[in-house]
Amino acid sequence: MQLTVFSFLPSLLKPAIILLLLVSCNASEKKEVRTGDYDLANPDRFNMPESLFEISGIALRNGSSDTVYAVQDEEGKVFRLGWDVSRQVHTKFSKKGDYEDISILGDTIFVLKSNGVIYNFPIAECTFEEAENVRELKGVLPKGEYEGMFADEESGRLFVLCKNCPGDDSKTAVTGYTLDTRKNFASTTFSINVNEIAAIHGKVARGFRPSALARNPVTGEWYILSAVNKLLVTTDANWKVKDAFPLDGNIFIQPEGIAFDKQGSLYISNEGDDLFSGNILKFKRISH
């Protein structure tokens, strides 16, 4: 008979050790959290350089993942990075301020400030240290607090969501604006019904506070982030809520930006905190 160390252990200890071994084996397995078309538990993580510790909005030109365009909360600069390359270059377009999102429409970059002011300049000027032909658009959005903007190439429209606007009760509805860049930024409104989110997710604490939005090029659905609520909400093309997914705070430190590449991969940027650097998380679309 072959004896092992385990054979000599007191019988009371054996069940506890077996349980410990099982837990250790399970912990080493890769956890999967399947959220619609994406596994939000297993990202490809790109940690940001110090200059983008407070990364907010991100954008990809024509859905190309070769270059990530980004802004951060404090400086009037557009940053450019190759995926997983920590070196960045930037172009100054304005003075310091609270810049929340970035979008690219044709050959033009648009940057959203938290107070609703929008800046734009030719993307060609991103090769210079400072952009010269910068246009500052005031009054195209009502007074309020804004964080999310998306540019639609086909229609030439910008879609902007209120985070906290005086006319909204964010526990019932959130207002959005479409700005037609081909018609002198003429605006129309749309609305997201927060009750539809609550019906799926449960009570939405402090109301729904969107921080970013983007449209999935594969499904046509809208993906809306909320850092405050730690939620990812999906809607159909007409803004009817389809689903709401809670985000793991250990992975999504402070989700502030969202984008898709043309293959349908999802990118979410997170502002850093005292323990973690800012990052961009990439989730490949799961084939069905």
* DSSP letters spanning 219-251: T--EEEEETTTTEEEEE-TT--EEEEEE--TTT
Print burial letters for 222-238: b (CB count within 10 Å at least 16), e (below 16).
bbbbbbbbbbbbbbeee
Complete DSSP assignment for 117-151: -EEEEEGGGGGSSB-SS-EEE-SSS-SSEEEEEEE
User: What digits encode the pLDDT tens for the residues 229-248?
Assistant: 999 999 999 999 999 999 99
pLDDT of residue 86: 83
Higher pLDDT: 288 or 197? It is 197
User: What digits encode the pLDDT tens for the residues 184-203?
Assistant: 999 999 999 999 999 998 88
42 has pLDDT over 50: yes
28 has pLDDT over 70: no
* Range 34-283: architecture per CATH: 6 Propeller (2.120)
Q: Which CA distances in Å does 83 have to 54, 87, 220?
A: 18, 10, 25
pLDDT of residue 156: 97
Q: What is the pTM of this model?
A: 0.88
206 has pLDDT over 50: yes
User: What digits encode the pLDDT tens for the residues 132-159?
Assistant: 999 999 999 999 999 999 999 999 999 9
